[in-house]
Amino acid sequence: DAKTTQPPSMDCAEGRAANLPCNHSTISGNEYVYWYRQIHSQGPQYIIHGLKNNETNEMASLIITEDRKSSTLILPHATLRDTAVYYCIVRASYGGSQGNLIFGKGTKLSVKP
């Protein structure tokens, strides 16, 4: 079973920031938080990942709480092309797992004009 909990759907106005929450209360010390998204009829696309510190790249920012039990993916200026299902995944960096990703149902983000 997925180790994360996400709202099933969210709406966002075009040009506004989209803030997608994720709960991962059972995360272990060696587990990273990953975000992928899947646009309709395409394969999942990597967005960002982090361990403890907040991370930012050209696509998004990842804010992880100090206790690491939850995180928020921020798309600073959402566009219609950001409409997709967003998956929050926790994954160990070593040991045990072979590294396969365990997806939940994700959050369907709809960006509206």
Contact positions toward another protein, by CB under 8 A? 2, 32, 41-46, 49, 85, 87, 91, 93-95, 97-106
- Nearest residue (CB) to another protein, 66 versus 100: 100
Query: Least distance (Å) from another protein to the CB of residue 32?
Result: 6
- Determine how β-strand 55-56 pairs with β-strand 84-92: unpaired
Return the structure tokens found at 63.
């804010």
The residues pairing with 96 across neighbouring beta strands, listed in sequence order, are none
Query: Least distance (Å) from another protein to the CB of residue 89?
Result: 9
- Nearest residue (CB) to another protein, 42 versus 67: 42
Query: Least distance (Å) from another protein to the CB of residue 110?
Result: 16
Report the C-alpha dihedral over residues 80, 12, 70, 42, rounded to 10 degrees: -30
